[in-house]
Each structure stands twice: as C-alpha cells, then as structure tokens.
Amino acid sequence: MLIREAITADAAGIANVKVNSWKTTYKGLFPDEVLDALSVEEETANWARNLDSISKTYTSLALVAESDDKEIVGIIAGRKNEDRFHPYDCNLSIIYILKEYQRKKLGSRLTEQIVDFFIEKRFKTMIIWILKGNPNCLFYEKLGGMPKETKRVERWGIVYEEIGYVWEDISKIF
C-alpha cells in the first residue's frame, strides 16, 4: 500500500472513494435519496478543483492511499484551521477509506502522515468534525481525540449534529 500526496489526476479515484464510503458510512444517517443521487462524475469535477487549490497553499495537504494495483482506496486531507470560533491550529478535514480497506490500520497510517505534516508546520492542536452517529467515531477516540465541541449543520433541509474531536497536542498521537 502506497501513501502519497494527491494530485489533480487523482480526482476520479478520490471521487469514487468518497461516493462509496458515504454510501456505506452514512446509510441510515443521511436520506437514501441523497446517497443514491451521489455521482462519481460530479465529485470528480469537485475534487479536481479542490486538489488544484490545495496544491497552491502552504498549509494544506491531501494524501491518497493506493492499493498494490494502483487503485485509490483512501484519502485524507487537512489544513490550517481558519474557523475563528474554534481555536485549534489545524483541521483534519476528511478521511474516507473504502469499506473493504477499513480496519487494516490504513486510517492510522494516513493520519500519522498528515499529522507529521502539521507538526512540520508547527501546529499543535487539531480538530475534526464528525457526524453524530458516525460508526467510525471510535477510530478518533483510539487516536486520543476527545469529543469536546458540538455544532449543528443543515444539509438537505435536515439539521444534523456534528461532534468536534480535539487533540490538544498532536505530537502525542503517535
């Protein structure tokens, strides 16, 4: 398994990971019609734009995990936190892994590499926002994340609660 920095050419592979991981992770949390309507093609266009902007900043990073046959099976992304209401240095924006590759330490490997990047940038504290009810919350707790923050977000006319898992010292995660 290779972990490397994401490039714009990875957009379709990343889109596939996002769409499929949303369909398995958020089943029963998001409306079925929303999950059924997810489109790899639309997500590919979104990711091409996102990756282009990430590559132009000094304080953002997106990494992908490739299987032995060069298929993208996971993504993690993070950046300097610019949310003035939550005073953490950096934000772990997303982590998506195809279901068949979960629970094989890939999430930990991806997280370790992005945390190393954050430490190089002299960030100390980190937050990730997770949908309440997400079956993967235990993953963040095993890495030492503490559920310290909450916020309400509206999607598709429905209000959801998100939990902010916080690390007060990212140098102690690994």
CATH code for the structural domain at 2-172: 3.40.630.30
Kind and range of the H or E run holding 137: helix 137-142
- Residue 127: phi and psi, rounded to 5, are -135, 150
pLDDT of residue 15: 97
State the average pLDDT for the chain: 94
**Each residue of 34-70: pLDDT tens digit?**
999 999 999 999 999 888 877 667 899 999 999 999 9
pTM for the full predicted model:
0.93
Tens digits of residue pLDDT in 46-56: 999 888 877 66
pLDDT in tens, 95-153: 999 999 999 999 999 999 999 999 999 999 999 999 999 999 999 999 999 999 999 99
Structure-token pair, residue 88:
């953490």
Adjacent-strand bridge partners of 126: 90, 167
Number of other residues whose CB lies within 10 A of the CB of residue 104: 12
**What's the CA gap between 58 and 35, in Å, rounded?**
33
pLDDT at 37: 96
H or E element at residue 128? strand 126-131
pLDDT score of 58 = 81
**Alpha carbons 15 and 22: distance in angstroms, whole number:** 11
Structural domain boundaries in the chain: 2-172
